[in-house]
Structure 1
Amino acid sequence: MMRCSILVSILQLEPSVVENAIQFGKEVIQKGGEEIEHIYENVRVLTDKISERERERERVISVRQQTIKGKGVKLK
């Protein structure tokens, strides 16, 4: 019985998700006569599984377009 409780305690101390890191950023691209600004978020998830040791994905939160002609900001 003692051995089982020790094993349960060890499993509770080692969660599957070790670390979550979030990084925000901007990227400006000039395409044709427009300037496109991407606001993105990188999410990095580290797990204790060998097959999924490190996984990173990028999500586009919002994309804004602004014309060079000065007509203002267009939300896409």
Structure 2
Amino acid sequence: IPSGYAARLDEEKCIGGGTCVEVCPFDACKLNPDTQKAETVYDKCMGCGACVDFCKGEARELVLDANKGIPLDLDKL
């Protein structure tokens, strides 16, 4: 179930460490073989934030994305 968020990548900050590829449970992160920079496979990204938490270059952030559903309000649960 999508979270209502998607991971955004700042390519200039990406150091190509590949940690995002290793930690993404949805295989939504990959390294471009030509640039050795990370890329996000948008259709696979569920907005879980694992890549954001572990990115050594601090190149990723979660952003609200209307195409990814409505975020859950955990306070209401």
What TM-score range do you get, normalising by the shorter chain?
under 0.3
| Structure with the higher helix share, 1 or 2 | 2
- Tell which has more relative contact order, 1 or 2 (C-alpha 8 A, sep 6+): 2
Higher CA-based Rg = 1
- TM-score normalised according to structure 1 size: 0.23
| Structure with the higher strand share, 1 or 2 | 1
- TM-score normalised according to structure 2 size: 0.22
